[in-house]
Amino acid sequence: MSLIQLEGVSKNFGGLRALAEISMTVDEGKILGIMGANGAGKTTLFNVIAGYLPPTTGNVLLEGKSLLGLRPDQVCRRGIARTFQIVKPFQNLTVMENLLTAAMFGSVLIRNRQQAVAHCQTVLKDLGMLGLADTPAHALTLSKQKKLELARAISTGCKVVMLDEVMAGLTPPEVSEMLGIIREQHHSRKLTILIIEHVMRALMQLSDRIVVLHHGERIAMGTPQEIADNPRVHEVYFGEQK
């Protein structure tokens, strides 16, 4: 079943076309990788889906209902959460306070602070961060801030989480840890995941399907093996024909 649908989505910035008539579906419970060089339009695509940017043309639907015209907080309440390529925690709040803020503005049904705290404690425990609940976000290492980004997104009670380079800047052991966390959260919470990642090993291991963008256009879509064997992808990335 398709959870998200993009129908001819384009985004122009003046005379620059960042996205060119992107159409695709994201199936419920699956992991879709978004692959492309810098400037390919990956983060712009996330920004359009999440409501940070309106598309110039086209439509974005969640469970068959259009998201056009909704603010990012309204899209979040519908069930789509995201992380950012450059981590953006509330630096002067604690880890727990960051999660509580996300839970209050998300789609999870919380009636009081006690319920919110219990919900966020479960998320922190699942990500191995319960011992950091009272730590200010600015005191965390980069790898811990990346985990906080993921924890905060999950705390919204989302159906869909969009991960924008959550493994960028991490060491190989930290990448392996993050891979394990994403797999576990995907399985246990039945999340649908869209992931932008330059760590190709991680993208190939995680994704059920991969979409390849080039200068704002979708040039390929398929399984990781199909993408690895795609002549157009080889031509664009390596300047060679396969």
- Contact of 167 with 146, CB cutoff 8 Å: yes
- Contact of 216 with 39, CB cutoff 8 Å: no
Which residues share a beta bridge with 231? none
- Would the pLDDT of 242 be above 80? no
Mean pLDDT of 17-32: 95
pLDDT in tens, 41-50: 999 999 999 9
pLDDT in tens, 48-102: 999 999 999 999 999 999 999 999 999 999 999 999 988 989 999 999 999 999 9
Architecture of domain 2-238: 3-Layer(aba) Sandwich (3.40)
User: Can you tell me whether residue 149 is helix, strand or coil?
Assistant: helix
pLDDT in tens, 163-208: 999 999 999 999 999 999 999 999 999 999 999 998 888 899 999 9
Distance of CA 109 to the CA centre of its chain: 22
Residues comprising the chain, all counted: 242
Which residues share a beta bridge with 221? 211
Mean pLDDT of 18-32: 95
User: What pLDDT does 106 receive?
Assistant: 83
Contacts of 138 (CB under 8 A, 6+ apart): 89, 91, 92
